Structure 1
Amino acid sequence: MNTFTLRPHSGEAGHHDHLLTAFMLAENISHGLVLKKVPVLQYLYYLAQVGICMSPLSNNHLFLEYNKSPFPDYFARGLNVCLSTDDPLQFHFTMEPLMEEYAVAAQVWKLSVCDMCELARNSVQVSSFSHTEKQHWLGSTYREEGEVGNDTCKTNVPNIRAAFRHETHVQELNVLCHAYSRDVTEDLEPPSEAISKVAGEFDKVENS
């Protein structure tokens, strides 16, 4: 019900606290470089599929060399990343700065056509385009997860890639749910019984 959609620059540099705040409040973020130093927070961003719009060429000039960017690691792990521009008048050299980001990333990180299409699909999904515009670019079922939400005629992303991303994410969530339910339903021993067991073990050690 907010008037504005919160999409802050976060995690480009500085302390990771602002990434935590953005995780709780933001629709998606820009940069997110500091996430590589905080694996637990990175995992939360993965579970919630918070959008991360990264600008490696801009980062290369200001904070982090291109070959040290965490972008390929984020993408391989399944975080909801896409490529974007930042200060294009300052850091880009053509009239198509976003094409520069894609072209350089494809060459340096050996991204496949499938990778490029997935990144473009992620970009539209996390954008502020209207529902109608997203349907035009991604298909009428884009809100669905997995293969159901992937219109290959629109996105050019193979269904096997969409299914892999979805199934991996669901499996991860299931592991957490299973661990939580096991902890909740597991009967805890009364303190007195637990103390008696520990005392018995000590007696065995002393007698031996």
Structure 2
Amino acid sequence: MSLSERLHTVGRPLVDEQLAHPTVAGIAGGDLDERTFASWLEQDYLYLLDYVRVFARLAWQAPPAHLESLIDLAHSTLHEELELHRSLSAEFGADLDGASKGPVCRAYTSWLIAAAADYGEGLAAVYPCMWGYSTLGAELAERAAAAGPRYRRWIETYSDPGFAELTRHVAGMLEESGVDPERAEELFLQGMRFEVDFWTVPE
């Protein structure tokens, strides 16, 4: 079993927890309160700004073969994923510029930035977000007929085959990094727990 297969196996129950979370279920069903989604957008926007910094920190350490990939990931997060949040914020009334991090967002981003001090460990820490959202996107796309056009835009972003391909690429980078498998699993599970907690938005 490869490292990524091992991580997917231990991470699957935490994906199921996310699918059962009221926020995710509301996105899939199209009946999530718009204020809840707006609050989630604000937190995720702040999270993604730091996610760009994490990719940049990993790129500084990357072997030449993966430098471009990490720069591209930072660029696409900054100019595509964050642009989606800006677009959705206008529809849902999110205040991206006035938002402040809640406890989970603050803890998660601080943990990610610290983990990125080591190349292999940093990849293990960022992988839960990529794999988790790619898996959620694929499964929500199959069950989200009622999501409505605005929530469907979010689902389509993370169910896009190109995003799944990026996730597989990062998995390959992680496996090539030489990170200790036990340490990678520890970091991956911590990241997946943050992912579950992130869906409970601040009041």
What is the TM-score when the length of structure 1 is the normalising length? Answer: 0.28
Structure number with higher strand proportion? 1
> Which structure is higher in RCO with an 8 Å CA cutoff and minimum separation 6?
2
Structure number with higher helix proportion? 2
What is the TM-score when the length of structure 2 is the normalising length? Answer: 0.28
Rg larger in 1 or in 2?
1
